[in-house]
Amino acid sequence: MSRILNGIVAVCPDLGIGSNGNLPWHPVRLANEFKHFRRMTATPSVKDKQNVVIMGRRTWFSIPEKNRPLNNRINIVLSRALKAPPAGAHHLAPDFNSALKLVDVELADQVDQVWVIGGSSLYKDLMESPGTKRLFVTQILKQFECDTFLPEIRPDRYRLLPEFPGVPPELQKENGIQYRFEVYESIEQ
Ligand SMILES: NC(=O)c1ccc[n+]([C@@H]2O[C@H](COP(=O)([O-])OP(=O)(O)OC[C@H]3O[C@@H](n4cnc5c(N)ncnc54)[C@H](OP(=O)(O)O)[C@@H]3O)[C@@H](O)[C@H]2O)c1
C-alpha cells in the first residue's frame, strides 16, 4: 500500500532548523507554532488509529524529557548506533526504509498518518522517497544563527499549495516573531 508521507518543519530564511541541539529561536517559545505541530501530527483522520512520528536520535533528545514520547503518537527513533529504543521511545529503526517497513508491516493496523519530524537527513530521505509527499513548513520570517539545515525544497519537485484544510493562511506573530504556515506537495515525476 502506498501512503502519503508527511514532513513538518519550522525553518529560518536561510533554511536553518536547529542550533546547538535546540530550535534556533530557543529560549523564545512559539507556543502557537508548537500547537500547530501537535495538532497536525497528533490528529489521525481515522478513529482508533494513531499517527506515527519518525525522527533522528538528536531530534528525540532535543525534546524535553518530560514531553517524551510525544503523546498520542507512535514514536519511532532512527539510529545506526543504538541497539534498543531510547527510554520512552516506542520503536527503533536502523534506517529510513526500515522505519517505513515497520509502519507498513508490523504497525499497519494501528497507524494512520506518517509524519517525519526531523532532523536534516530524515527530511532529505523523505523528500527523496518515492510516492506522494507533503511538507508542512513554518516559514519563520526572522533569521537566527543555525547549525542544522533543511535541504532545499526543489521547485521542480514540490509545489506550494494555495491553501490546506486546518492550516491558517494568515501571517502569524508571537513574541515579536512573524511566521507563516505553508504546505508543499510533491509533483508527480
Ligand atoms: N525546526 C524544526 O522544525 C526542527 C525539527 C527537528 C529538529 N530540529 C533541530 O534539528 C537538530 C537535530 O537534527 P539533526 O539533523 O542534527 O539530527 P537528527 O537527524 O535528529 O539525528 C541525527 C542522528 O539520527 C540518526 N539518523 C539520522 N538519519 C538516519 C538514517 N537515515 N538512518 C539511521 N539513523 C539515522 C543518527 O543517529 P546515531 O548517531 O545514533 O546513529 C544520526 O546521528 C536539533 O537542533 C533540533 O532542535 C528542528
Task: Show pLDDT as tens, one digit a residue, over the chain (189 residues).
Answer: 578 999 999 999 999 999 999 999 999 999 999 999 999 999 999 999 999 999 999 999 999 999 999 999 999 999 999 999 999 999 999 999 999 999 999 999 999 999 999 999 999 999 999 999 999 999 999 999 999 999 999 999 999 999 999 999 999 999 999 999 999 999 987
Q: How far apart, in Å, are the Cα atoms of 137 and each of 36, 45, 94, 153, 184?
A: 11, 20, 26, 10, 8
Q: Which atom of ligand 1 is nearest to the CA of 94?
A: 33
User: What are residue 11's DSSP bridge partners?
Assistant: 139
- Maximum CA extent, the chain: 45
Active-site positions read 23, 33
User: From ligand 1's centre to the CA of 119, what distance in Å?
Assistant: 4
Ligand 1 neighbourhood includes 186 CB (under 6 angstroms): no
Instruction: Name the 3-class secondary structure at 159.
Output: strand
Ligand 1 neighbourhood includes 79 CB (under 6 angstroms): yes
Asked if 134 and 6 touch (Cβ cutoff 8 Å), the reply is yes
Report the nearest-CA residue for atom 37 of ligand 1.
79
